Amino acid sequence: MTTDRFGNEFAAGLPYARGAIIRSTEDDFVKLERARRVIERRIAARGPEAIFNFSGLERALPMEASELAVADDEVAPALAGARVRALALEHLGGDAERHDVMLFNRLTAATFATHLALVSPGDAVLGLSPSYTHPTAIRSARQCGARFVETGDLAGLEAALDREPRVSLVVLTRLAVTYDLLPLEIASEAVRLAHARGVRVYVDDAGGARVGPAVFGQPKTLELGADLGATGLDKYGTVGPRLGLLAGDAALVAAIRARAFEFGLEARPMLYPAVARSLSGYRPERVRTLVETTRKVGEALSVVFGARLHVTPVTAQLRADDLLALAMERAGLTTPPIVPIEATAALAMLLLEDYGILTVHFAGMPPGTSSLLVKFIPPETLERFGGADAFAKAVDSSVDRLAAALHDRAALSMLLLRERRAKPPAGNG
């Protein structure tokens, strides 16, 4: 059983422990509602400019009036479907003769539909990632009655392929939720090992589809040799909407498409013009600009937090265990009153309340990581906020507030879950 630094056991299917305040995905949603009320109040008092999107995600709807006029589930794909297919195949490195594409309501839906189509009860699904596979893939395998096996490295993958009698899928993660990158030689060898045993490979390329080629010079998703790959259109160089884009072997995509429509996982076809706009406007140079701006913010944060700031080539992170330890030091405490993910959640809420800073912590339900991630920051947003030093001072001040709040569990609960609804009474009376 994996535990955090404080001895808390990780929750099933998650890379962190649950606490007594945020106990479940239901509580994660109440936390999100609380954040939305904060956003509502700030905008009502100061206008939309009072919110600074530092999440690294773009989840708007990039459509003009002429496109909205044809935003219909039958008309839009008839007019824009062919262009979306061509742009998507180019974006993911596909071949129009061999590959096809499918749009989903989000990347999780693409992952789940892939498992629905390709995985059977009793199968094994193997994961290979620079750190760990995203919980969405683990949940998808389990929902299909399969066992998910995190293999760790190439040797572990090869051993699992030899050991497991029924492996139906390898889930390969190029850019992990920790923002560590899988080296190209490892990704290529993983594909070779799987294919040598007749096992299909699905690349969870959420952000890696653009970061890999634009920042690290790696091939596009399908150029890795995988059977299928999917990315999110809200990440790093694209501008939304928040949809999942899957491409791969045409016959496999057809089977996955069928399962997607059967279970309502497909994206609304009326959004095809927005997808075409997002893909046609993509430029690798934008990704590199976002990374460079993040690097500047990381330098400012390192002045404040020193070695406690974890830096990758594309992110700066306050890992939850380090954050809680730092807050406890500032509070003069030796026993943690909350678990690390709750410390991250509280810091994210304080940043939103005091400074209008919207972090990626509120984007996932449940979050895929317990770290406070600083990533892919738009330079125009940073300039509007006041620069990298102003951002670092805001985080430092909010950590001080977090430290003060550690003395009052009730106040922490109010901070995170003020909108929590009472459970309905049991029975019919």
Number of domains in the chain: 2
Q: Quick one: 344 and 393 in the same domain?
A: yes
Both structure tokens of 127 = 């994961």
245 and 380 housed in the same domain: no
| Nearest residue to 269 (alpha-carbon basis) of 116, 58, 59, 70 | 70
Structure confidence at residue 13 as a pLDDT band (50, 70, 90)? confident
In a domain, 273, yes or no: no
Assign residue 211 the CATH number of its domain.
3.40.640.10
Is residue 277 situated within a structural domain? no
Last residue of a domain, one of 267, 299, 320: 267
Q: What average pLDDT does range 14-27 have in this prediction? A: 93
Q: Which tokens belong to 371? A: 């770290």
**Looking at residue 365, what is its pLDDT?**
85
What pLDDT, on the 0 to 100 scale, is given for residue 1? 57
CA distance 301 to 371: 15
Residue 427 has pLDDT above 80, yes or no: no
Same domain, yes or no: 37 and 89: no
Of 236, 267, 298, the residue that ends a domain is 267
- Looking at the fold, whether 372 and 408 belong to one and the same domain comes out as yes
Token code pair at residue 192: 């070779």
Tokens of 18: 């649950």
pLDDT digit string, tens, across residues 305-326: 999 999 999 999 999 999 999 9
Note whether 165 and 254 are same-domain residues: yes
375 has a pLDDT exceeding 60: yes
Which of 205, 179, 177 has the alpha carbon at shortest distance from 191?
205
Q: What is the mean pLDDT of residues 167-181?
A: 94
pTM: 0.88
| Residues 119 and 37 grouped into a single domain | no
pLDDT band for position 428 (50/70/90)? very low
307 in the same domain as 211 = no
Q: Is residue 1 part of a domain?
A: no
Q: Are residues 91 and 149 in the same domain?
A: yes
In a domain, 69, yes or no: no
The two three-digit tokens of residue 108, written as one number? 């999780």
Distance (Å) of CA 92 to CA 221, 230, 248:
5, 8, 9
Residue 81 shares a structural domain with residue 43: no
CB 350 within 8 A of CB 332: no
Please state, for a pLDDT cut of 70, what percent of the chain lies above it: 97
Which pLDDT band holds residue 429 (cuts at 50, 70, 90)?
very low
Q: Which residue, 170, 265, 267, 280, is CA-closest to 226?
A: 170
Summarised one tens digit per residue, pLDDT across range 222-281 is: 999 999 999 999 999 898 899 999 999 999 999 999 999 999 999 999 999 999 999 999
pLDDT digits (tens, 9 = 90+) for 46-72: 999 999 999 999 888 888 898 898 999
Instruction: Convert 278-310 to b/e letters by CB count within 10 Å (16 or more is b).
Output: bbeebeeebbebbbebbbbbbebbeeebeebbb
Taking only the tens place, the pLDDT of each residue in 104-162 is: 999 999 999 999 999 999 999 999 999 989 999 999 999 999 999 999 999 999 999 99
What is the domain extent for residue 37?
Answer: 25-59+284-417
pLDDT confidence of 220, banded at 50, 70, 90?
A: very high
Quick count: other Cβ atoms within 10 Å of Cβ 5?
Answer: 13
Q: What is the mean pLDDT of residues 90-112?
A: 97
Say which CATH number the domain at 413 has: 3.90.1150.70
Instruction: Kindly report, residue by residue over 30-40, the tens digit of the pLDDT.
Output: 999 999 999 99
Look at residue 353 and tell me if it is in a domain: yes
- Residue 303: predicted pLDDT: 97
pLDDT attached to residue 342: 97
- Does the pLDDT of residue 369 top 80, yes or no? yes
Asked whether residue 41 falls in the same domain as residue 120, the answer is no
Domain assignment present for residue 296? The answer is: yes
* Chain segment 183-207, per-residue pLDDT in tens: 999 999 999 999 999 999 999 999 8
The pLDDT score that the predictor gives to residue 127 is: 97
Q: Which residues pair with 101 in a beta bridge?
A: 247
Task: Flag whether 101 is in a domain.
Answer: yes
The span from the CA of 250 to the CA of 267, in Å, is 18
Whether residue 221 has pLDDT greater than 60: yes
What pLDDT is recorded for position 288?
96
| Judgement on whether residues 103 and 250 belong to the same structural domain of the protein | yes
Of 209, 235, 267, the residue that ends a domain is 267
Report the candidate in 428, 421, 389, 197 with the shortest Cα–Cα distance to residue 304: 389
Are both 249 and 397 inside the same structural domain? no
For residue 419, pLDDT over 70 is answered with: no
Is residue 6 within 8 A of residue 13, CB to CB? The reply is no
Above 70 in pLDDT, residue 329? yes
pLDDT number for residue 178: 87
The overall average pLDDT reported for the chain is 94
pLDDT at 147: 96
12 by DSSP, 3-state: which?
Answer: coil
Evaluate whether 297 touches 391 at the Cβ level (below 8 Å): yes
Could you tell me the strand order of the sheet in which 147-150 lies? 99-104, 244-249, 228-232, 200-204, 167-173, 124-128, 147-150
Whether residue 358 lies inside any domain: the answer is: yes
pLDDT band of 26, cuts 50, 70, 90: very high
